Amino acid sequence: MKQRILTGDRPTGPLHIGHYVGSLRNRVRLQHDYDTYILIADVQALTDNFEHPQKVRSNIMQVALDYLAVGLDPAHCTFVVQSQIPQIAELTVFYLNLVTVSHLRQNPTVKTEIEQKNFGSSVPAGFFIYPVSQAADITAFGAHVVPVGEDQLPMIEQTVEIVRRFNRLYAPVLTEPRAMVGETARLPGLDGRAKMGKSLGNAIFLGDTADTVAQKVRGMYTDPNHLKVGDPGQVEGNPVFAYLDAFDPDPERVEDLKAHYRRGGLGDVKVKRHLLEVLEATLEPVRQRRAAYEHDLGYVERVVREGTLRAREVAAATMHDVRRAMQLLEF
């Protein structure tokens, strides 16, 4: 029997190439080795978008389209809409008794995101406790493995603590997950910022047209001191080379370009032209598959609905074990 793996995204906007490098292409590879659950985390998205529920609702299908377009196969993975699994909310309530406010406040991932979103002392309680909700996501489906970036490791550590405490207090019914840390560093934004996102206007999206991608690549930030082709250029901190590292299938070629750029004689226009060719080799097949699925939205809706119903059965079995372990009534 295959081990289960859980991964997913918040439906707050279309997915960009940072998602592709950071997780999507790895999910495509892993779906053949694991019983894969892909969570469309709309409840979590509402923790900081509660005033804009339509934004979250409309992006559920967009994220599902992106999943299918990159090659996630419903025959090998289960797409799940988080809000349609009531057992997750029930587990969250039970788990809240197993953590302290002080511990949640010290969670480095939560602290960083609260700071990034400028919540100050007005952080919504739902956002504050989302590490507990994430633990419920993972354990509801008995996930053995959770792919994450290094910045998300505290979330998995929190889940492991909850699982161990629950199993010790009640009965060993919950699966303890392990983190699978990705190999690729997070891509910077097109403008050189560390963070990439729709609201920052510095991302290439999986659904962008070829003309849009070309326009965005031409406008990418490079070394501001590389004014002439003959000038030596800075590779470190230059997003063009970060993207080549992530997408070019020929690392030796990338190293040659870096060496040429550093010593001078290689212009930004030429490097960007090469980057565009590399990106299009990845994005054009994705774009074509996405367009095909957009013409059959009934199929996409069916994939999401049927996957969610299957996942609900798994979560219900978990809740049966949890209630029995906690000696709760079950009618």
Is 201 a member of any domain? no
Check whether residue 82 and residue 10 sit in a common domain.
yes
Assigned domain for 182 exists: yes
pLDDT score recorded for residue 185: 60
Structure tokens at 132: 């507990």
pLDDT in tens, the chain (331 residues): 789 999 999 999 889 998 888 889 889 999 999 999 999 999 999 988 999 999 999 999 999 999 999 999 999 999 999 999 999 999 999 999 999 998 888 888 888 888 877 887 788 888 889 899 999 999 999 999 999 877 788 899 999 999 999 999 999 999 999 999 866 567 899 998 877 877 778 999 998 999 999 999 999 999 999 989 999 999 999 999 999 999 999 999 999 999 999 999 999 999 999 999 999 999 999 999 999 999 999 999 999 999 999 999 999 999 999 999 999 998 8
Task: Give the pLDDT score at 121.
Answer: 77
| 146 and 272 housed in the same domain | no
| Backbone phi and psi for residue 213, each to the nearest 5 degrees, phi listed first | -60, -45
How many Cβ atoms from other residues are within 10 Å of residue 330's Cβ? Answer: 8
- What is the chain's percent helix, strand, coil content, to nearest 5? 60, 10, 35
What token pair was written down for 148? Answer: 């994450």
* pLDDT value for 183: 63
CATH assignment of the domain containing 129 = 3.40.50.620
Please check whether residue 40 lies inside any domain of the structure: yes
Q: Are residues 8 and 123 in the same domain?
A: yes
Tell me if 246 sits within 8 A of 187, measured CB to CB: yes
Give the model's pLDDT for residue 21: 85
d(CA 173, CA 166): 9
- Is residue 142, in this structure, part of any structural domain at all? yes
User: Do 104 and 162 belong together in one domain?
Assistant: yes
* Element at 323 (helix H, strand E): helix 297-325
Give the helix/strand (H/E) hosting 166: helix 153-169
Is residue 64 located within the same domain as residue 145? yes
Burial label, 169 (beta-carbon count in 10 A; 0-12, 13-18, 19+):
exposed
Domain count along the chain: 2
Q: Does a structural domain hold residue 231?
A: yes
- 41 located within any domain: yes
Same domain, 118 and 44: yes
Listed residue (152, 188, 215) closest to 17, CA to CA: 188
Q: Domain check: are 131 and 234 in the same one?
A: no
CA dihedral 184, 185, 191, 195 (to 10 degrees): 120
Q: What is the DSSP letter of 327?
A: T
Element (H, E) at 127: helix 125-128
Q: Tell me: do 119 and 236 sit in the same domain.
A: no
CA distance 309 to 307: 5
The pLDDT score that the predictor gives to residue 13 is 86
pLDDT for 114: 82
For 289: left if phi > 0, alpha if psi spans -120 to 50, otherwise beta; the answer is alpha
Q: Which residue has the tokens 């690549």?
A: 217
> Does residue 204 lie within any of the structural domains?
no
Burial zone of 214 (CB within 10 Å; 0-12 exposed, 13-18 middle, 19+ buried): middle
Say how many Å lie between the first and final Cα of the chain, rounded: 31
Does one domain contain both 32 and 126? yes
Q: Report d(CA 65, CA 71) in Å as an integer.
A: 10
The residue range of the domain holding 273 is 210-291
Q: Confirm whether 272 is domain-assigned.
A: yes
Q: At residue 245, what are phi and psi to the nearest 5 degrees?
A: -60, -35
Is residue 130 domain-shared with residue 76, that is, in the same domain? yes
Based on the fold, state whether residues 123 and 165 are members of the same structural domain: yes
Other CB atoms closer than 10 Å to residue 194's CB: what's the count?
8
One domain for residues 129 and 261: no
Query: Domain of 262: which CATH number?
Result: 1.10.240.10
